[in-house]
Amino acid sequence: MTAIRTTSDVPGSEGGFDFFDALGPSQTRRRRNWPRIGAALGLAVACGALSVALYASAGARKPVLAVARAVPAGSVITASDLRAVRVADDPGLAPIPVGAVGGVLGQHAAVALVPGTLLTRADLSGGPTIPAGWASVGLDLKAGQLPAGLIPGQTVVVVITPPAGQAASAGSGGSQGTVLVDAARVISIAWASAASNSPDTEVTLAVPAVLAPSVASAEANGQVAVVGLGG
Protein backbone atom coordinates (compact mmCIF):
# COMPACT_ATOMS: atom_id res chain seq x y z
CA MET A 1 0.00 0.00 0.00
CA THR A 2 1.44 3.34 -1.12
CA ALA A 3 1.88 5.87 1.63
CA ILE A 4 0.51 9.32 0.96
CA ARG A 5 2.69 12.15 2.20
CA THR A 6 1.24 15.51 3.03
CA THR A 7 2.94 18.84 2.56
CA SER A 8 3.55 18.95 6.24
CA ASP A 9 5.87 16.01 5.84
CA VAL A 10 8.07 17.78 3.25
CA PRO A 11 11.24 19.10 4.76
CA GLY A 12 11.38 22.87 4.65
CA SER A 13 7.64 23.15 4.06
CA GLU A 14 7.32 24.94 7.37
CA GLY A 15 3.79 23.97 7.92
CA GLY A 16 2.26 23.66 4.45
CA PHE A 17 1.36 26.83 2.59
CA ASP A 18 3.10 28.91 5.21
CA PHE A 19 6.27 28.15 3.23
CA PHE A 20 5.05 30.31 0.29
CA ASP A 21 3.99 33.08 2.61
CA ALA A 22 7.48 33.17 4.01
CA LEU A 23 8.90 33.84 0.53
CA GLY A 24 6.93 37.13 0.14
CA PRO A 25 7.29 40.34 2.13
CA SER A 26 6.06 40.26 5.66
CA GLN A 27 2.85 41.99 6.72
CA THR A 28 4.89 44.42 8.76
CA ARG A 29 7.08 45.31 5.76
CA ARG A 30 4.03 45.89 3.55
CA ARG A 31 2.48 48.20 6.13
CA ARG A 32 5.67 50.31 6.25
CA ASN A 33 5.77 50.75 2.46
CA TRP A 34 2.27 52.21 2.09
CA PRO A 35 3.01 55.48 3.92
CA ARG A 36 6.04 56.01 1.72
CA ILE A 37 4.05 55.41 -1.42
CA GLY A 38 1.35 57.77 -0.22
CA ALA A 39 3.87 60.48 0.54
CA ALA A 40 5.47 60.10 -2.89
CA LEU A 41 2.10 60.35 -4.61
CA GLY A 42 1.19 63.41 -2.56
CA LEU A 43 4.48 65.10 -3.47
CA ALA A 44 3.95 64.36 -7.16
CA VAL A 45 0.45 65.82 -7.06
CA ALA A 46 1.68 68.94 -5.23
CA CYS A 47 4.49 69.49 -7.76
CA GLY A 48 2.06 69.10 -10.63
CA ALA A 49 -0.37 71.59 -9.12
CA LEU A 50 2.47 74.07 -8.51
CA SER A 51 3.65 73.76 -12.11
CA VAL A 52 0.13 74.40 -13.40
CA ALA A 53 -0.23 77.44 -11.13
CA LEU A 54 3.11 78.91 -12.22
CA TYR A 55 2.28 78.36 -15.89
CA ALA A 56 -1.11 80.01 -15.49
CA SER A 57 0.45 82.91 -13.59
CA ALA A 58 3.07 83.46 -16.30
CA GLY A 59 0.40 83.36 -18.97
CA ALA A 60 -1.65 86.04 -17.18
CA ARG A 61 1.20 88.59 -17.16
CA LYS A 62 0.75 91.47 -19.59
CA PRO A 63 3.38 93.75 -21.20
CA VAL A 64 3.10 97.31 -19.90
CA LEU A 65 5.22 100.47 -19.91
CA ALA A 66 7.66 101.26 -17.12
CA VAL A 67 10.05 104.17 -16.55
CA ALA A 68 13.58 103.36 -17.71
CA ARG A 69 15.34 106.51 -16.46
CA ALA A 70 14.60 109.59 -14.40
CA VAL A 71 12.37 112.11 -16.18
CA PRO A 72 11.94 115.57 -14.60
CA ALA A 73 8.43 116.98 -14.31
CA GLY A 74 7.46 118.88 -17.44
CA SER A 75 9.93 117.08 -19.70
CA VAL A 76 8.88 115.56 -23.00
CA ILE A 77 8.76 111.75 -22.82
CA THR A 78 10.86 109.93 -25.42
CA ALA A 79 11.30 106.26 -26.32
CA SER A 80 14.56 106.05 -24.36
CA ASP A 81 12.67 107.02 -21.19
CA LEU A 82 10.53 103.88 -21.35
CA ARG A 83 10.89 100.11 -21.27
CA ALA A 84 8.51 97.15 -21.43
CA VAL A 85 7.88 94.90 -18.44
CA ARG A 86 5.41 92.08 -17.77
CA VAL A 87 3.15 92.27 -14.73
CA ALA A 88 0.24 90.22 -13.46
CA ASP A 89 -3.19 91.60 -14.17
CA ASP A 90 -4.36 93.39 -11.04
CA PRO A 91 -7.49 95.56 -10.74
CA GLY A 92 -5.60 97.77 -8.30
CA LEU A 93 -3.03 98.73 -10.96
CA ALA A 94 -3.62 100.84 -14.05
CA PRO A 95 -0.37 100.72 -16.08
CA ILE A 96 -0.32 101.75 -19.73
CA PRO A 97 -0.14 98.77 -22.15
CA VAL A 98 2.90 98.57 -24.43
CA GLY A 99 0.61 98.82 -27.45
CA ALA A 100 -0.37 102.36 -26.40
CA VAL A 101 3.19 103.72 -26.47
CA GLY A 102 2.39 105.83 -29.53
CA GLY A 103 0.05 107.96 -27.43
CA VAL A 104 2.69 108.44 -24.74
CA LEU A 105 5.68 109.62 -26.77
CA GLY A 106 5.78 113.39 -27.08
CA GLN A 107 3.66 114.00 -24.00
CA HIS A 108 5.02 115.75 -20.92
CA ALA A 109 5.66 114.23 -17.53
CA ALA A 110 3.07 115.61 -15.13
CA VAL A 111 5.29 114.59 -12.20
CA ALA A 112 8.89 113.53 -11.79
CA LEU A 113 9.13 109.95 -13.12
CA VAL A 114 11.25 107.49 -11.14
CA PRO A 115 13.09 104.59 -12.85
CA GLY A 116 11.53 101.18 -12.21
CA THR A 117 7.98 102.45 -11.66
CA LEU A 118 5.00 101.63 -13.85
CA LEU A 119 3.75 104.43 -16.10
CA THR A 120 0.10 105.47 -15.68
CA ARG A 121 -2.13 108.05 -17.35
CA ALA A 122 -1.91 110.19 -14.24
CA ASP A 123 1.83 110.59 -14.91
CA LEU A 124 1.19 112.27 -18.27
CA SER A 125 0.29 115.78 -19.30
CA GLY A 126 -0.62 117.01 -22.77
CA GLY A 127 1.37 120.19 -22.25
CA PRO A 128 4.31 121.41 -20.23
CA THR A 129 3.80 121.70 -16.50
CA ILE A 130 4.49 125.21 -15.23
CA PRO A 131 4.65 125.65 -11.45
CA ALA A 132 2.59 128.37 -9.81
CA GLY A 133 4.39 131.70 -9.91
CA TRP A 134 6.32 130.74 -13.04
CA ALA A 135 5.81 131.50 -16.75
CA SER A 136 6.97 129.98 -20.04
CA VAL A 137 9.07 132.08 -22.42
CA GLY A 138 10.02 131.12 -25.97
CA LEU A 139 13.50 131.91 -27.27
CA ASP A 140 14.95 131.77 -30.79
CA LEU A 141 18.66 131.23 -30.20
CA LYS A 142 21.51 131.18 -32.65
CA ALA A 143 24.65 129.07 -32.51
CA GLY A 144 26.76 130.30 -29.62
CA GLN A 145 23.76 131.41 -27.57
CA LEU A 146 23.14 127.97 -26.09
CA PRO A 147 25.28 124.90 -25.33
CA ALA A 148 25.17 121.72 -27.38
CA GLY A 149 23.35 118.78 -25.83
CA LEU A 150 20.77 120.83 -23.96
CA ILE A 151 17.80 118.65 -23.00
CA PRO A 152 14.26 119.19 -21.65
CA GLY A 153 14.19 119.31 -17.88
CA GLN A 154 17.70 120.69 -17.57
CA THR A 155 18.34 123.72 -15.39
CA VAL A 156 19.95 126.71 -17.12
CA VAL A 157 21.09 130.24 -16.35
CA VAL A 158 19.71 133.06 -18.53
CA VAL A 159 22.30 135.73 -19.27
CA ILE A 160 21.88 139.16 -20.89
CA THR A 161 24.63 139.69 -23.46
CA PRO A 162 25.86 143.11 -24.70
CA PRO A 163 24.76 144.44 -28.10
CA ALA A 164 26.80 143.19 -31.03
CA GLY A 165 28.63 146.52 -31.47
CA GLN A 166 29.68 146.61 -27.81
CA ALA A 167 30.87 143.02 -27.41
CA ALA A 168 34.52 144.08 -27.22
CA SER A 169 34.02 147.45 -25.54
CA ALA A 170 35.61 147.83 -22.16
CA GLY A 171 33.68 149.47 -19.35
CA SER A 172 30.38 149.35 -21.19
CA GLY A 173 28.84 148.18 -17.90
CA GLY A 174 25.25 147.33 -17.28
CA SER A 175 24.35 144.50 -19.59
CA GLN A 176 27.70 142.76 -20.07
CA GLY A 177 27.54 139.27 -18.60
CA THR A 178 24.54 140.09 -16.40
CA VAL A 179 22.69 137.10 -14.99
CA LEU A 180 18.98 137.63 -15.48
CA VAL A 181 17.65 134.27 -14.22
CA ASP A 182 19.90 132.09 -12.11
CA ALA A 183 17.74 128.95 -12.39
CA ALA A 184 15.36 128.46 -15.31
CA ARG A 185 14.13 125.10 -16.60
CA VAL A 186 14.08 123.89 -20.20
CA ILE A 187 10.56 122.80 -21.11
CA SER A 188 11.18 121.92 -24.75
CA ILE A 189 13.81 122.37 -27.42
CA ALA A 190 13.77 122.10 -31.22
CA TRP A 191 17.25 122.16 -32.64
CA ALA A 192 18.01 124.03 -35.86
CA SER A 193 18.23 121.68 -38.82
CA ALA A 194 17.86 121.62 -42.58
CA ALA A 195 14.46 119.98 -42.17
CA SER A 196 13.19 122.83 -39.97
CA ASN A 197 14.22 125.49 -42.54
CA SER A 198 15.35 127.71 -39.68
CA PRO A 199 18.88 128.64 -38.58
CA ASP A 200 17.69 129.18 -35.01
CA THR A 201 17.04 126.73 -32.20
CA GLU A 202 13.69 127.17 -30.52
CA VAL A 203 13.84 126.81 -26.75
CA THR A 204 10.97 127.20 -24.29
CA LEU A 205 11.98 128.01 -20.73
CA ALA A 206 10.09 128.11 -17.46
CA VAL A 207 11.19 131.22 -15.57
CA PRO A 208 9.88 133.12 -12.53
CA ALA A 209 6.84 135.11 -13.67
CA VAL A 210 8.30 138.43 -12.44
CA LEU A 211 11.34 137.96 -14.72
CA ALA A 212 9.47 136.75 -17.81
CA PRO A 213 9.05 140.27 -19.36
CA SER A 214 12.77 141.01 -19.00
CA VAL A 215 13.71 137.68 -20.62
CA ALA A 216 11.30 138.28 -23.51
CA SER A 217 12.65 141.81 -24.02
CA ALA A 218 16.26 140.63 -24.05
CA GLU A 219 15.39 137.89 -26.54
CA ALA A 220 13.68 140.37 -28.86
CA ASN A 221 16.85 142.47 -28.88
CA GLY A 222 19.04 139.45 -29.55
CA GLN A 223 20.77 139.91 -26.21
CA VAL A 224 20.04 136.66 -24.42
CA ALA A 225 21.96 133.42 -23.98
CA VAL A 226 21.47 130.35 -21.85
CA VAL A 227 24.13 128.44 -19.94
CA GLY A 228 23.50 124.82 -18.97
CA LEU A 229 24.04 123.64 -15.39
CA GLY A 230 24.96 120.19 -14.27
CA GLY A 231 22.75 117.93 -12.16
Within a domain: 155: yes
The mean pLDDT of 175-204, rounded to a whole number, is 78
Strands (E), the chain: 61-67, 82-88, 108-109, 124-125, 134-141, 155-160, 178-190, 201-208, 224-228
* CA separation, residue 185 to residues 127, 178, 188 (Å): 15, 18, 9
Tell me the pLDDT tens digit for each residue of 112-161.
889 999 999 888 877 666 778 889 899 988 888 888 888 877 889 999 98
Please report the pLDDT score of residue 45 as a whole number. Answer: 74
Please report the pLDDT score of residue 173 as a whole number. Answer: 46
Please report the pLDDT score of residue 118 as a whole number. Answer: 92
Co-location of 206 and 148 in the same domain: yes
pTM beyond 0.75: the answer is no
Please report the pLDDT score of residue 59 as a whole number. Answer: 53
Within a domain: 52: no
Co-location of 154 and 71 in the same domain: no
Residue 152 and residue 136 in contact, taking contact as beta carbons nearer than 8 Å = no
Query: Which range has the worst mean pLDDT, 60-69, 87-96, 172-181?
Result: 172-181
Domain count, the chain: 2
Does position 172 have pLDDT exceeding 50, yes or no? no
Co-location of 144 and 184 in the same domain: yes
Co-location of 101 and 186 in the same domain: no
Range of the domain at 183: 134-228
Co-location of 116 and 138 in the same domain: no
d(C-alpha 29, C-alpha 125), whole Å? 75
Within a domain: 42: no
Please report the pLDDT score of residue 168 as a whole number. Answer: 46
Co-location of 176 and 206 in the same domain: yes
Co-location of 147 and 214 in the same domain: yes
Within a domain: 51: no
Please report the pLDDT score of residue 76 as a whole number. Answer: 81
Number of neighbours of residue 67 by Cβ within 10 angstroms: 21
The confidence band for 68, taking pLDDT boundaries of 50, 70 and 90, is very high
Within a domain: 201: yes
List phi, psi (to 5°) of 147: -80, 155
